[in-house]
Amino acid sequence: MQAFDYKYQQLEPVKSFKRVPGPEMYVPGHRTCAGCGPALNYRLVAKAAGKDTIFIGPTGCMYVANASYLCTPYAVSWIHAQITNAGAVASGIEAAFKVAMRKGRHAGPFPNIIVMAGDGGSVDIGLQAMSGMMYRNHKVLFICYDNESYANTGIQTSPMTPYGANTTFTPPGKEIPEGKTLFPKNAPQLVIGGHPAVKYVATTTIAHPLDLMNKVRKALSQPGPTFLHMLCPCPKGWKFDEKMTREMARLAVETGMWSLYEWENGTYNYTNVPKKYKPVNEYMQHQGRFAHLKPEHIAKMQAFVDEKIKAVQRPIPVAAAVPGKQ
Partner 1 sequence: MAKAKMLTGCRASAEGAKAAEVEVICSFPIRPYTAIMMELAKMVANGELNAEFIHGEGEHAQLSVVLGACAAGARAFTGSSGVGVTYAMEIYSPMAGGRYPAQMAIADRTLDPPGDFGSEHTDAMCTRDNGWLLGWACSPQEVYDNTLIAYRVGEDHRVMLPQMVCQDGYFISHIPDKVVLGEQSQVKEFLPPYRPISPLSLTHPVSHGPQIRPDQGAPMDAQRAQTFLAVPKVIEEATADFGRIFGRNYDPFVEQYKLADAEIAFFIMGAHANTARAAVDRLRKQGVKVGMARLRWVRPWPTHQLAAALGHVKAIGVVETSTSYGGAMRGGNLIHELRASLYDLDDRPLVTSFMGGLGGETIWPADFDHMAKVLTQAVKEKKVRNYVQWLGM
Contact positions toward partner 1, by CB under 8 A? 51-54, 56, 63-64, 67-72, 74-82, 84-85, 87-100, 102-103, 105, 109, 111, 128-129, 131-132, 135-136
Question: In terms of CB distance, is 111 or 256 closer to partner 1?
Answer: 111
Minimum distance from residue 141 beta carbon to partner 1 (Å): 15
Q: CB of residue 68 vs partner 1: minimum separation in angstroms?
A: 6
65: left (phi over 0), alpha (psi -120 to 50) or beta: alpha
Which residue, 132 or 266, is less far from partner 1 as judged by CB? 132
* Identity of the amino acid at 206: I
Strands 200-205 and 260-264: antiparallel
Least separation in angstroms between residue 92's CB and partner 1 is 3
CA atoms of 5 and 14, how far apart (whole Å): 26
Nearer to partner 1 among residue 76 and residue 210 (C-beta): 76
Q: How far is the CB of 197 from partner 1 (least distance, A)?
A: 13
Complex with partner 1: residue 55 or 268, whichever CB lies closer: 55
Between 78 and 258, whose beta carbon lies closer to partner 1? Answer: 78
Cβ-based nearer residue to partner 1, 108 or 288: 108
How far is residue 155's CA from residue 166's CA, in Å, rounded to a whole number? 9
The amino acid at 219:
A
Indicate the residue among 61 and 298 with the shorter CB distance to partner 1.
61
Burial of residue 10 (number of CB atoms within 10 Å: 0-12, 13-18, 19+): exposed
Q: Which one-letter amino acid corresponds to residue 26? A: Y
CB of 69 to partner 1, least distance (A): 4
Confirm if 154 and 140 have CB atoms less than 8 A apart: no
Number of neighbours of residue 85 by Cβ within 10 angstroms = 22
How far is the C-alpha of 168 from the C-alpha of 219, rounded, in Å?
35
Q: Report, in Å, the least distance between residue 139 CB and partner 1.
A: 12
Buried b (16+ CB within 10 A) or exposed e, 254-284: bbbbbbbbbbbebebebebeeeebeebbebb
Cα distance between residue 271 and residue 265, in whole Å: 17
Between helix 209-220 and helix 37-49 the angle, nearest 10°, is: 50
Rg (CA), the chain: 19
Beta carbon of residue 134, minimum distance to partner 1 (angstroms, whole number): 11
Q: How far is the CB of 272 from partner 1 (least distance, A)?
A: 34
The CB-of-53 to partner 1 minimum distance in angstroms stands at 8
Cβ proximity to partner 1: between 132 and 315 the closer is: 132
**Beta 267-271 vs 260-264: how paired, if at all?**
antiparallel
Give the residue with the Cβ less far from partner 1, 1 or 319. Answer: 1
End-to-end CA distance of the chain: 21
CA distance 47 to 251: 25
